[in-house]
Amino acid sequence: MTLSVALQHRFGGFDLDVRFEAGRGVTALFGRSGAGKTTIVNAVAGLLRPDTAQISLNTVTFNDARTCLPPHKRRVGYVFQDARLFPHLSVAQNLDYPQRFGARPTGRDRIIEMLGIGALLARRPGTLSGGERQRVALGRALLADPRLLLMDEPLAALDGPRKAEILPYLDRLKSEGTVPILYVSHAVDEVARLADHMVLLSGGRVARQGPLFDVMADPAAVPLLGVREAGAVLRAHVTEHGLDGLSTLRVAAGEVQLMGVQAAVGAEIRLRVLAQDVLLSLDRPTGLSAQNILPVTITAIREGDGPGAAIALDAGGDTLLARVTSRAVTSMGLTTGQNLFAIIKATSVAQTAISGGAISAKASAP
């Protein structure tokens, strides 16, 4: 199932002009505040009529020159930042509310079990924690029998513990669900953990789009993601848990050891490795405390307006990203096609950088 979006809209002196497609899985709309993310999802939901739009989901046209399908006919589930549950209704009544408008959901019990809200059914929203409210809001959206699920900053209003509480449920929804998800966020860690595809917005335009692994590791995306947030996402398989607290994971370029991995042996997880946490060496180093040393090849060098440079690295078919100074590029003689070594500390991958399992180590620069 594919969502096709092409829209232009002007408001308050801001011009929005975007075109993209969102297929199966989770497509993240990422950008800074004011980039146009919420306007796009509101247009897809039918809550906003753009000046010009061509929006369709497979063969169903939401908007074109002659059509603007009303929201209740689009079969789109919408999870807002602030949950928006009906305070006078119980959780069970909130969940069943879409049936008043003709929704005929299947798998109600499965959705309640998947989201862990069975014990909440008799309670009112005012008695729930923020994470519980968001899980109920997600359940209500799924029980609207949607063709498409829209999630607009669903974790932005939550503190760290509540955010950590709900992320595993979103992981599970992604792995078990069949409904495509358009996920809006300006938090890189959420996007890196959940998304399959990424649409990077800047100034009302699509700056980059494509598979998450490609966009996150694109040196040209560093200014848009932020120099402290930029980094690659790698797939890894857990192969061993050591008695010393270090776990061994296999990535495309070899093995890495990380602290406190809680995923089971054999599990596939994602690692988000920040560009600022990758060191480069012309020769394989010895005598270092850092044990994660991977052979890499430079595929691109992008120097910005400041003193920094972003280096894209082929790591056995995966892409790593390193951020170094322009002076280091010159002094090391770095060039495209050059073979060298990337060094990653075992303590440099944070718990929020993991999908499919948790890592307890706090991020730190090498």
Q: How many CB atoms lie within 10 A of CB 303?
A: 15
Q: What is the CA radius of gyration of the chain?
A: 22
Distance, CA of 324 to CA of 279 (rounded, Å): 8
Q: Provide the pLDDT for residue 354.
A: 56
At 326, list the tokens: 């322009």
The partner residues of 184 in beta bridges, in order of sequence, read 29, 152
Q: Provide the pLDDT for residue 364.
A: 32
Tell me the H-state helices in 201-320: 212-216, 222-225
Q: CA dihedral in degrees (288, 293, 298, 301; nearest 10)?
A: -50
The dihedral of CA 21, 206, 164, 129: what is its sign?
negative
Q: CA dihedral in degrees (364, 357, 135, 21; nearest 10)?
A: 90
Q: What SS3 string covers 104-170?
A: CCCCHHHHHHHHCCHHHCCCCHHHCCHHHHHHHHHHHHHCCCCCEEEEECCCCCCCHHHHHHHHHHH
The partner residues of 301 in beta bridges, in order of sequence, read 311
DSSP state of 313: E
Q: Provide the pLDDT for residue 226.
A: 87
pLDDT mean by block of 10 residues, the chain; 366 residues: 92 91 92 89 94 94 92 90 92 92 83 91 94 92 91 87 83 81 91 93 94 93 89 93 90 90 88 93 91 95 88 96 95 97 83 49 31
Please spell the DSSP secondary structure of 276-298, one letter per residue.
Answer: GGEEEESS---S-S--EEEEEEE
Q: What is the CATH number assigned to the segment(s) 231-355? A: 2.40.50.100
Domain boundaries, the chain: 3-216, 231-355
What SS3 state is found at 355? strand
Residue listed under structure tokens 């848009």: 224
Distance, CA of 147 to CA of 284 (rounded, Å): 52
Please spell the DSSP secondary structure of 339-354, one letter per residue.
Answer: EEEEEE-TT-S-GGGE
Question: Does an H or E element contain 173, and which?
Answer: helix 160-176
At 312, list the tokens: 């894209």
Distance, CA of 136 to CA of 284 (rounded, Å): 52
Distance, CA of 78 to CA of 146 (rounded, Å): 9
Question: For the sheet containing 3-11, what is the strand order?
Answer: 14-22, 3-11, 52-57, 60-63
Angle formed by the axes of helices 108-115 and 160-176, to 10°? 140
**Chain centre to alpha carbon of residue 29:** 9
Q: Provide the pLDDT for residue 340.
A: 97
Residue listed under structure tokens 């620069």: 365
Q: Provide the pLDDT for residue 101.
A: 80
Q: What is the pTM of this model?
A: 0.87
The residue among 7, 1, 55 whose CA lies nearest residue 23 is 1
Distance, CA of 181 to CA of 173 (rounded, Å): 10
CA atoms within 13 A on the CB side of 120: 24
Q: CA dihedral in degrees (13, 19, 24, 28; nearest 10)?
A: -40
Which class is domain 3-216? alpha beta
